[in-house]
């Protein structure tokens, strides 16, 4: 099952990178047996089988990669260990008795536990962990989200395998999408909400002014691509449709630094 998940994950990342040539969604080669043995010894834990199998295939995302998980990086074993050690230091240095915590029934309501293995980090101090110390209602190896912005500890899935399957399916169904603005994979609903909020603040343009702008843009396309250039509708379809006969021309125009053409995608006005 893990092997199948890995193949699906690679395939969907490759598809995204083909559609978004400037994206960087790169995975490390798998960890060696020696690395796996050493990390488990250092953390004094035994990884569940699915976690070991997953890291044998990929040791997290590459250092130059954008986020391959939803709004978060996939940590290599070395980064997992470094973060775990950092949290161990913090938990021994701080008093947490007065901190209000909220936890699902399956998760211990603790500030931190040394049997929580962080494999994903959103860069804001919130982690997705393999939980090797569940509550009486939980299961060994379940996946939990440990948040320090609101002090919630939530159950995400009953196993890494189940969590990965849900994540990859969301990518395949475009519920998660690539966003250069957010530095990698993001929940599409969040992006749509941001677009709706931004559109509400944009000034309107009169139909006449919009027609003038369309004419200017079409002239720019002809200047960039020569006679036989696609019209604006064909251009946009070329960017969205892999099989469009205008795909190459659309991508050529999209990567142009011509200021007038850039307005087509970065316009500060709403179409009437």
Output the domain CATH number for residue 113.
3.40.1580.10
Q: Are residues 127 and 9 in the same domain?
A: yes
Q: Are residues 134 and 70 in the same domain?
A: yes
pTM score, whole prediction: 0.72
Judge whether 196 lies within some domain: no
Q: How many CB atoms lie within 10 A of CB 250?
A: 21
Say what angle helices 247-254 and 207-225 make with each other, to 10 degrees: 100
Query: Which residue range forms the structural domain that includes residue 84?
Result: 2-190
Q: Which of 41, 34, 87 is nearest to 59 (CA)?
A: 34
Tokens, residue 143:
């996946």
Q: What is the pLDDT along the chain (272 residues), one digit of tens a residue?
A: 999 999 999 999 999 999 999 999 999 999 999 999 999 999 999 999 999 999 999 999 999 999 999 999 999 999 999 999 999 998 887 766 667 789 999 999 999 999 999 999 999 989 999 999 999 999 999 999 999 888 999 999 999 999 999 999 999 999 999 999 999 999 999 887 776 565 555 555 566 665 666 666 666 666 666 666 666 555 555 554 555 555 565 556 555 544 444 444 444 444 44
Judge whether 148 lies within some domain: yes
Judge whether 37 lies within some domain: yes
Q: Are residues 75 and 169 in the same domain?
A: yes
Q: Are residues 7 and 136 in the same domain?
A: yes
């Amino acid at each position: 099952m893990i092997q199948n998940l890995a193949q699906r994950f690679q395939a969907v990342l490759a598809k995204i990178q083909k559609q978004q040539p400037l994206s960087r969604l790169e995975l490390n080669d798998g960890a060696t047996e020696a690395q796996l043995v050493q990390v488990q010894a250092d953390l004094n834990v035994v990884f569940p089988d699915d976690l070991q199998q997953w890291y044998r295939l990929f040791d997290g995302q590459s250092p130059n990669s954008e986020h391959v998980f939803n709004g978060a990086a996939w940590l290599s074993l070395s980064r997992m260990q470094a973060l775990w050690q950092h949290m161990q230091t913090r938990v021994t240095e701080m008093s947490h008795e007065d901190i209000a915590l909220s936890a699902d029934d399956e998760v211990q309501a603790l500030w931190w536990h040394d049997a929580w293995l962080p494999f994903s980090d959103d860069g804001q101090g919130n982690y997705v962990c393999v939980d090797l110390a569940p509550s009486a209602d939980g299961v060994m190896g379940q996946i939990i989200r440990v948040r320090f912005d609101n002090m919630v500890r939530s159950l995400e899935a009953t196993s890494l395998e189940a969590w990965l399957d849900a994540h990859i399916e969301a990518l395949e169904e475009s519920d998660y999408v690539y966003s250069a603005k957010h530095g990698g994979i993001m929940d599409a609903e969040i992006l749509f909400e941001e677009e709706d909020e931004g559109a509400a603040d944009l000034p309107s343009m009169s139909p006449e002014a919009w027609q003038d702008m369309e004419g200017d843009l079409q002239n720019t396309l002809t200047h960039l691509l020569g006679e036989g250039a696609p019209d604006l509708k064909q251009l946009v379809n070329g960017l969205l449709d892999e099989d469009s006969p205008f795909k190459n021309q659309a991508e050529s125009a999209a990567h142009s630094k011509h200021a007038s053409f850039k307005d087509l995608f970065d316009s500060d006005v709403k179409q009437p």
